[in-house]
């Protein structure tokens, strides 16, 4: 949610800041703005709309682009409607200070009333304009430098933020601070230039050296000097860690695909392979995961495993519940992180909490982690982004190695999260003897085939596209699955909702008779997962019930199935595998189906309305 892109150095700032904002568009936003300092004045351009609309404004006056310092922002509205005035950057009342801000200042109204009583006026409805004027008020009253003013002001703020602040009276520095929202600092050679962004993608071609601020830290970025990091609460110094970025430019470009989502769907064979590379050792009949091996007793002796996540990651967690209980016989509960953190859950030091997040920055999941740790639980993180907050906050964990996921609708993150959960479940199942050596070996062999089978599934894209054309105008859809594939039904429905805006619901197939069957008529498409493992005959009975009510059936079946083919309106075949591994395959047709329907409807597939890739506010 929201994106920050800023530059200070010897290059022209405008193209760097604007291209950075374009790379952050995946985060979701409704307006955009940029401030360029030309050596004398701050040139401010803001607009409701896309970054391309912002370029339309700046292109009318080339002088607005000239300068070596710039801060830019993409805003996802919280306080105040999306419009030009509420867009960032915001200036202080004097016009000397500029700020961009991700997050929410919860006590902004109290601060605003106090500032109004001191003579301040406000142009926007935002909490951000309140913050920059608070910083200016502190700077004036305390007679201090900008860095100290930011630090003092933030000690009076309640909420979450990632901010970059510039003072035109001291044009060789930018102040950056973080609490709850991510911020990265790219460090140029000999400290001659610095890049500031919500993640590293805006500056990956300029430097591989990055500093990620921790919560309650601020940085003074001054040309020609090392970055100084301080704790906000007590102003104590922190020695920053400079990380080497592994990201490459080609990973964050479309690579010939029409959309990032389609590219990322097709990247799944490689992403799954990368996720189990070095971990799945079938020839040695073992799974090697040091993060599990080093904490094996905690897992094996746990009273239960609690999985906390949001959105697609929550669906992966539901698959994990089936995996852990079936393969390792360990009891599992799956919680929405947003509910877990507020419902006073019973958590003890005998519990293991697994937190799942693609970005590693999901606000509710981070809050759930802190709650679990405060109650003594061992917390294990599964995320995709190296160096993210969840990777740092958890006791141990595993990366998914999916590579950057730019499309807002998650695809390869889901399958790689399931891959990691499967590896852990298999390892624990073998360790506690729930799985025999023979069964364990069979799973390893079958799992090795999954990337090739996904590759095979991607070749039926045109068939799926033809089905999408039939149902693109549907107003409502049902997705049904049983066992391991019930969460896949939920995920399939979510994908369709996210990018096509068609109402869709996922249900356990057996629950259809407890309400949803009332919706079925000749206009209702029902997508049913009916693989030949597990509860096949039960699902066939459900399909018969749908057919008796004239519903349109689109079934995902195992290669060679004839029984469902005879009664379904459309079938999509997947390769045969073990039931526990089928979610890695059954989800692929649903991803393709949602993608094609959205494209046919003319929707913005990579940036669906109102959504953000990384939800960093409550």
Stretch 573-601: mean pLDDT, rounded?
96
Cis peptide bond prior to 89, omega within 30° of 0:
yes
Q: Give the full edge-to-edge strand order of the sheet including 209-212.
A: 42-48, 31-37, 69-75, 3-8, 194-197, 184-187, 209-212, 243-244
Instruction: State residue 519's pLDDT score.
Output: 81
Query: Which of these ranges, 222-236, 392-406, 538-552, has the smallest mean pLDDT?
Result: 538-552
- Its pTM stands at 0.80
Confidence bin at 615 (pLDDT 50/70/90)? low
Stretch 508-514: mean pLDDT, rounded?
82
Q: Are 608 and 499 in contact (CB under 8 A)?
A: yes
Instruction: State residue 332's pLDDT score.
Output: 97
Question: CA 184, CA 198: separation in Å to the nearest integer?
Answer: 6
Instruction: Give DSSP secondary structure letters for 363-407.
Output: HHHHHHHHHHHHTT-EEEEEESSTT-HHHHHSSEEEE-------S
The pair phi, psi for residue 36, each rounded to 5°, is -115, 130
Stretch 347-354: mean pLDDT, rounded?
96
Query: Which of these ranges, 52-56, 305-309, 406-410, 500-504, has the smallest mean pLDDT?
Result: 406-410
Instruction: State residue 515's pLDDT score.
Output: 83
Inform me whether the pLDDT recorded for 244 exceeds 60. yes
Give the catalytic positions in this structure: 2, 613
Q: Are 520 and 478 in contact (CB under 8 A)?
A: yes
Instruction: State residue 617's pLDDT score.
Output: 56
What is the per-residue pLDDT across 59-68, written as a single tens digit (0 to 9) for each?
A: 998 888 999 9
Inform me whether the pLDDT recorded for 248 exceeds 80. no
Instruction: State residue 126's pLDDT score.
Output: 94
Closest CA to 420 of 355, 331, 491: 355
Confidence bin at 1 (pLDDT 50/70/90)? low
What is the per-residue pLDDT across 267-303, written as a single tens digit (0 to 9) for each?
A: 999 999 999 999 999 999 999 999 999 999 999 999 9
Stretch 198-226: mean pLDDT, rounded?
93
* 322: its two tokens: 């089936």
Higher-pLDDT residue of 61, 316:
316
Residue 167 CB contacts under 8 Å (≥ 6 apart), including other chains: 96, 97, 146, 173
Question: CA 25, CA 44: separation in Å to the nearest integer?
Answer: 20
Stretch 207-217: mean pLDDT, rounded?
93
Stretch 61-88: mean pLDDT, rounded?
91
Stretch 375-393: mean pLDDT, rounded?
90
Question: CA 543, CA 509: separation in Å to the nearest integer?
Answer: 9
Confidence bin at 266 (pLDDT 50/70/90)? very high
Inform me whether the pLDDT recorded for 604 exceeds 70. yes
Closest CA to 249 of 182, 180, 218, 203: 203
Inform me whether the pLDDT recorded for 574 exceeds 60. yes
Widest pairwise Cα distance in the chain: 81
Query: Which of these ranges, 406-415, 457-466, 489-498, has the smallest mean pLDDT?
Result: 406-415
What is the per-residue pLDDT across 428-453, written as a single tens digit (0 to 9) for each?
A: 999 999 999 999 999 999 999 999 99
Instruction: State residue 77's pLDDT score.
Output: 82
Confidence bin at 404 (pLDDT 50/70/90)? confident
Higher-pLDDT residue of 563, 615:
563
Instruction: State residue 616's pLDDT score.
Output: 56
Instruction: State residue 385's pLDDT score.
Output: 84
Across-strand partners of 35? 44, 71
The pair phi, psi for residue 145, each rounded to 5°, is -75, 165
Closest CA to 489 of 368, 237, 318, 234: 318
Stretch 522-540: mean pLDDT, rounded?
87
Confidence bin at 612 (pLDDT 50/70/90)? low
Instruction: State residue 122's pLDDT score.
Output: 96
**pLDDT above 90 as % of the chain:** 77
Alpha helices in 394-533 (DSSP H): 412-431, 437-448, 450-458, 461-471, 486-500
Higher-pLDDT residue of 180, 356:
356
Instruction: State residue 107's pLDDT score.
Output: 94
Closest CA to 558 of 590, 581, 580, 586: 586
Instruction: State residue 26's pLDDT score.
Output: 77
Match 């990018």 to its residue by tokens. 499
Stretch 23-46: mean pLDDT, rounded?
91
* 391: its two tokens: 């990777």
Inform me whether the pLDDT recorded for 173 exceeds 90. yes
Query: What does the chain come to in residues?
Result: 618
């Amino acid at each position: 949610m929201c994106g920050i892109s800023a530059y200070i150095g010897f290059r022209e700032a405008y193209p760097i800041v604007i291209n950075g904002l374009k790379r952050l568009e995946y985060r979701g936003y409704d307006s955009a703005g940029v401030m360029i300092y030309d050596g004398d004045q701050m040139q401010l351009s803001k607009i409701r709309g896309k970054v391309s609309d912002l370029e339309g404004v700046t292109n009318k006056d080339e002088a607005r682009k000239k300068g070596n310092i710039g801060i830019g922002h993409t805003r996802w509205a919280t306080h105040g409607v999306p419009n030009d005035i509420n867009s960032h950057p915001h200036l202080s009342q004097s016009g000397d200070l500029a700020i961009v801000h991700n997050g929410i200042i919860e006590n902004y109204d109290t601060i605003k009333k106090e500032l109004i009583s001191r003579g301040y006026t406000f142009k926007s409805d935002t909490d951000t304009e309140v913050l920059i004027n608070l910083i200016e008020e502190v700077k004036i009253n305390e007679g201090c430098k900008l860095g100290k003013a930011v630090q003092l002001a933030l000690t009076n703020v309640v909420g979450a933020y990632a901010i970059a602040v510039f003072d035109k009276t001291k044009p060789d520095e930018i102040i950056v601070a973080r609490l709850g929202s991510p911020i990265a600092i790219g460090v140029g050679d000999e400290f001659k230039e610095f890049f500031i962004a919500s993640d590293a993608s805006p500056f990956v071609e300029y430097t591989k050296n990055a500093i990620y601020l921790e919560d309650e830290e601020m940085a003074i970025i001054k040309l020609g000097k090392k970055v100084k990091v301080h704790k906000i609460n007590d102003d104590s110094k922190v020695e920053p860690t400079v990380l080497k970025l592994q990201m490459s430019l080609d990973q964050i470009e479309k690579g010939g695909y029409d959309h990032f989502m389609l590219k990322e769907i097709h990247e799944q064979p490689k992403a799954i392979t990368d996720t189990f590379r070095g971990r799945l050792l079938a020839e040695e009949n073992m799974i090697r995961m040091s993060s599990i091996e080093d904490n094996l007793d905690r897992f094996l002796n746990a009273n239960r495993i609690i999985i906390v996540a949001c959105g697609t990651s929550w669906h992966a967690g539901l698959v994990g519940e089936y995996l852990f209980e079936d393969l390792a016989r360990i009891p599992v509960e799956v919680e929405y992180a947003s509910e877990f953190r507020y419902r006073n859950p019973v958590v003890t030091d005998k519990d293991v909490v697994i937190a799942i997040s693609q970005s590693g920055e999901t606000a509710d999941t981070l809050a759930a982690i802190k709650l679990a740790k405060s109650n003594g639980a061992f917390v294990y993180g599964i995320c995709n982004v190296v160096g993210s907050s969840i990777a740092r906050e958890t006791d141990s964990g595993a990366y998914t190695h999916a590579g950057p996921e730019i499309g807002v609708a998650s695809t390869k993150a889901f399958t790689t999260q399931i891959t990691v959960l499967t590896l852990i479940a298999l390892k624990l199942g073998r360790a506690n003897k729930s799985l025999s050596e023979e069964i364990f070996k069979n799973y390893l062999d079958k799992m090795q085939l999954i990337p090739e089978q996904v590759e095979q599934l991607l070749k039926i894209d045109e068939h799926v596209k033809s089905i999408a054309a039939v149902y693109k105008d549907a107003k409502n859809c049902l997705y049904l699955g049983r066992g391991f594939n019930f969460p896949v039904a939920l995920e399939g429905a979510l994908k369709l909702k996210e990018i096509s805006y068609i109402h869709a619901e996922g249900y356990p197939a057996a629950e259809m008779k407890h309400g949803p069957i009332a919706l079925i008529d000749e206009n209702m498409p029902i997508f049913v997962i009916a693989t030949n493992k597990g509860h096949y005959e039960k699902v066939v009975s459900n399909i018969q019930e749908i057919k008796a009510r004239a519903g349109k059936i689109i079934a995902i079946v195992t290669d060679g199935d004839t029984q469902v083919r005879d009664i379904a309106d459309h079938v999509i075949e997947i390769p045969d595998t073990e039931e526990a591994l089928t979610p890695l395959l059954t989800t692929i047709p649903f991803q393709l189906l949602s993608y094609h329907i959205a494209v046919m409807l003319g929707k913005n597939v990579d940036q669906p309305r109102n959504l953000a890739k990384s939800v960093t506010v409550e």
